[in-house]
Chains A and B, each alone.
Chain A
């Protein structure tokens, strides 16, 4: 069904960014506008999901040019859910930033760039055109280059070089893949490609292009063996920026993988096996990497890599049940990972370091904070009934039914490694007594901040923790949602029909 207003999440973020540009030097006005606009964009995202859930897949042809010639925007349940998750984490990060980001950074346009980044994310989730997807990816990475270097500390620049290099390489590979695909199929519309690619006889070339897409998105979503840039760069920028990166930027790669490999390239036996092997290795290398680290944000960065593996595993098994697991994990992971980096930001403000060997005594001194921080930490492990548990249940069930017993082993190993790491973090940071805390840090401690800023740092963590609890405790809603998404991914005919119109009416 045609609905021109599904582009609103993208336009509204652009509008917010432009509005913020007018207040370039007035930092407090920017703070206020960002919070208000992020609440409105959350409202828009909820409206979009409700609309799509009730009326089926909605499409919009930009400029009124008919598909497959113009650029199509498609909102199916998957896209709308991702837009909603972006709005939730975007709002949390925006509120957290008002309290934690220094004025020096805000004066270099932190908030407008953050909104450009969110615009890029929403665009990538809503577009139905593969070249347009590339354009949104470019907007995302250009905005993220600014965010990762803003402030210009030495460690930041060092991390940014690795980040920029790998992401530019990924974009180049992605663009090459699009070029070859266009040469083969003569179309860029994803729904049209879905039909065209199935008819191409040169399957060898199709598989090569599929692998190129896998490499391009694989770098962006940090799967084995292309993940090393992520732990090397995500711990360098301020925590609010790491939160939006950790929560959403790798997941947009996973989204693209799920979209491309269910719509255009249906995995054959070789590709399925490849994805499963990659998933297992990603889980293993991320988990083992996390054990060795002592910096809290580096631990979380490795855990991002580890848990990307779960989602890729769901794609590799390629049954509806496994995809339900992958989607559920995606929903749970965006909220939890955003929250974990926010928590690490709060801990840094409390104690002045993120080295878990030096940290300690938080449980004794701040029991309420500790309970709050326990929610994302233990949701990540997947202790029932918290949110990570249900996703893993579906993944394990899905792989059991397909006879992938080795993969079950790796998934359990990954969960076990996560448990070990989180237990270590918990006992080191919260239970043991602090040793060797730094005497003086170059930022203000939490207790020195104004009460308004203190609340601005605590409220988003509470909101995200509440969302995590909702995902875990009201899992039947999320399961229902994930099941519908998985059904639409497995059988894309509704998507194709929504974009191209039914075949019979076409001449």
Chain B
């Protein structure tokens, strides 16, 4: 699908969709959204880019193998889950910073867990899609 319209649109869509995915990630605590959906949207951004410009272009854009995001994301999620153990609380209890940060708002361990999920989903989806499109 190497049409000029799709190609031009995809270069604008990539940053927009990634921005949107981060918005969905942050929105997810009380409203529909969260790490899983956000991760899927972010990986769709890369998939669209690879459809328009070819797989090699997208790979050179990402620089490292997307599978590497899986252990990083799992690590963040695990640490955010295990953090309450350090203060003698149960696993996965939500811990919150006292003061809200500008723009983001209240920050708690749940946000880090969601970020971990976000990274794992991007890693898994891109690994699967890249592997499939390589063998095609």
Contacts and interface: CB of A to CB of B under 8 A. Distances in A.
- For the complex, would chain B's binding face be called helix, strand, loop or mixed by DSSP majority? helix
A63 B75 contact: no
Interface stretch (A14-22, A156-164, A372-380, A401-409): A14-22
A62 interface: yes
A125 to B, nearest CB: 16
Contact of B90 (A4, A21, A22): A4
Contacts of A14: 74, 78
Interface string A1-36: 000110100010011011001101000000000000
Contacts of B91: 4, 7, 11, 60, 62-63, 73
Interface residues of A, number: 17
A438 interface: no
A7 B74 CA distance: 17
Contacts of A144: none
Contacts of A62: 90-92
A18 B89 contact: no
Q: How large is the interface on B (under 10, 10 to 19, 20 to 34, 35 or more residues)?
A: 10 to 19
A507 interface: no
B82 interface: yes
A18 B116 CA distance: 12
Contacts of B89: 4, 64
Given A4-B84, A4-B88, A64-B89, A15 B78 contact: yes
B90 A11 contact: no
A14 B78 CA distance: 8
A17 B92 CA distance: 19
A98 interface: no
B18 to A, nearest CB: 24
Nearest to A70: B90
A266 B95 CA distance: 41
B93 interface: yes
A61 interface: yes
Interface of A: 4-5, 7, 11, 14-15, 17-18, 21-22, 24, 60-64, 73
Q: Across the A-B interface, give the 3 residue pairs with the lowest CB-CB distance, nearest first.
A: A21-B71, A64-B93, A63-B92
